Amino acid sequence: MACTACALGSFRNTSHALSGSAECVACATGYSTQSTATVHQSDCYLCPEDNYVLSTSNSKACVPCGANAQSSVGTVDGCLCDPGFEPNSTACAACAYGFYKQLAGNHSCSACAAGKQGTAQRVDEATACETCPANTHWTVAGASCSACHANSQTPPGSVVVANCSCDAGYEHAAGPACAACVPGY
């Protein structure tokens, strides 16, 4: 039988030879080693913040979190996406326009409420979502507010095109458009 070095996150010292054990011993959960072929349990160290140990691997190396992710000391099996970021395949991606995420975690971003459009901020609702301005209306989650048709107006925060009212001297024509009133009306 050939001898192989103990993988990262495990050790084997001379006392194991006396007990008849040929297996490397895993460091405690959340711990790793600086190198392979480690010979003492005291060489196991707790993986630092913004790193994690993958529990399903034979090698218990400390793996750095990717961009826009974080973890606490001794984390096992992955990091959490930062506020304003959500899991996307194997990384953390910024919340889309009109969406936000206030806390670190691997949950999806939330959409701005009806009557609000997105901003460049993505961390909390108060800064990520602003009320649709006057003379515009909300269209769909994550989109910019759309302008009312010509010769119409609406108050801030309007949620549908039907909130756009024709100006004085104009009436609804075909569709949502406003046309000038016929003389005498």
DSSP string across 10-66: EE--HHHHHTT--SPEEPPTTEE-SSSSB--GGG-EEPPTTEEE-TTSSS--EEE--
* Contact in structure between 145 and 117 (CB atoms under 8 Å): yes
Q: Quickly state the pLDDT bin for 18 (edges 50, 70, 90).
A: low
Q: Are residues 148 and 126 in the same domain?
A: no
Mean pLDDT of the chain: 88
Q: Is 75 domain-assigned?
A: no
Task: Supply the pLDDT for residue 45.
Answer: 93
* pLDDT, tens digit (0-9, with 9 covering 90-100), for 107-154: 999 999 999 998 888 898 888 999 999 999 988 877 889 999 999 999
Q: Is 174 domain-assigned?
A: yes
User: Structural domain of residue 26, as residue ranges?
Assistant: 10-70
The reported pTM is 0.73
Q: Are residues 118 and 164 in the same domain?
A: no
The yes-or-no verdict on residue 22 having pLDDT over 80 is no
The C-alpha atoms of residue 152 and residue 135 are separated, in whole angstroms, by 7
Q: Are residues 14 and 65 in the same domain?
A: yes
The C-alpha atoms of residue 147 and residue 133 are separated, in whole angstroms, by 9
Q: Is 185 domain-assigned?
A: no
Q: Are residues 66 and 16 in the same domain?
A: yes
- Which residues make Cβ contacts (< 8 Å) with residue 133, sequence separation at least 6? 145, 156
Q: Are residues 17 and 36 in the same domain?
A: yes
Q: Are residues 163 and 141 in the same domain?
A: yes
| Mean pLDDT to the nearest integer, 70-75 | 95
Of 21 and 125, the structure prediction assigns the larger pLDDT to 125
| Mean pLDDT to the nearest integer, 172-181 | 81
The yes-or-no verdict on residue 165 having pLDDT over 60 is yes
Buried b (16+ CB within 10 A) or exposed e, 164-182: bebeeebeeeeeeebeeee
Q: Is 50 domain-assigned?
A: yes
Q: Is 121 domain-assigned?
A: yes
Nearest to 75 by CA among 48, 41, 107, 56: 48
Q: Is 82 domain-assigned?
A: no
Q: Is 2 domain-assigned?
A: no
* Contact in structure between 86 and 95 (CB atoms under 8 Å): yes
The number of folded domains in the chain is 3
Q: Are residues 118 and 141 in the same domain?
A: no
Q: Are residues 22 and 66 in the same domain?
A: yes
Task: Supply the pLDDT for residue 19.
Answer: 56
Q: Is 79 domain-assigned?
A: no
* pLDDT, tens digit (0-9, with 9 covering 90-100), for 80-113: 999 999 999 889 999 999 999 999 999 999 999 9
